[in-house]
Amino acid sequence: MTDPLVWVGVLLLGGAGAVTRLTVDKAVSRRLSTAFPYGTLVVNISGALLLGFFAGLALPPHLALLAGTAFVGSYTTFSTWMLETHRLAEERQIWSALGNIGVSMVLGLGAALLGQTVGGLW
């Protein structure tokens, strides 16, 4: 794949990942209207599962870049996770903030491992 095609792919798939993230986050947040950032949690866990799956598939470098970096990279969000955790702590919801960190780490690692295992079977 030529470099210009890769850049166009990153542009398009990055945009698609960002729109998908917004859609999933809003859908989850509407259903679970609480102070806890469930939308971001669902996005990041599903993103870890998807990235693990792509890693398990052992895609060629250009496809891995497009699938992993472009789509999943713009779909998941570390910065929002940290900002929402900080907001919970500022609001003195310390257990929710710590829970957000712990649950995200445990479920994220588990989802990545599961995705990689499933991807390796294909």
Q: CB of 41 within 8 A of CB of 9?
A: no
**Percent of the chain residues past pLDDT 70, beyond the cut:** 99
| 73 belongs to an annotated ligand binding site | yes
Task: Match 């990153």 to its residue by tokens.
Answer: 10
Is residue 3's pLDDT more than 90? Answer: no
- The residues spanned by each domain of the chain are 4-120
| 120 belongs to an annotated ligand binding site | no
Is residue 1's pLDDT more than 90? Answer: no
Cα distances from 34 to residues 71, 81, 115, 116, in angstroms, run 28, 15, 29, 32
Using one digit for the tens of pLDDT, what is the confidence trace for 42-96? 999 999 999 999 999 999 999 999 999 999 999 999 999 999 999 999 999 999 9
- Reference 35, options 89, 82, 76; nearest CA is 89
Q: What is the pTM of this model?
A: 0.92
Predicted pLDDT of residue 101: 98
Cα torsion 28, 29, 31, 33 to 10°: value is 150
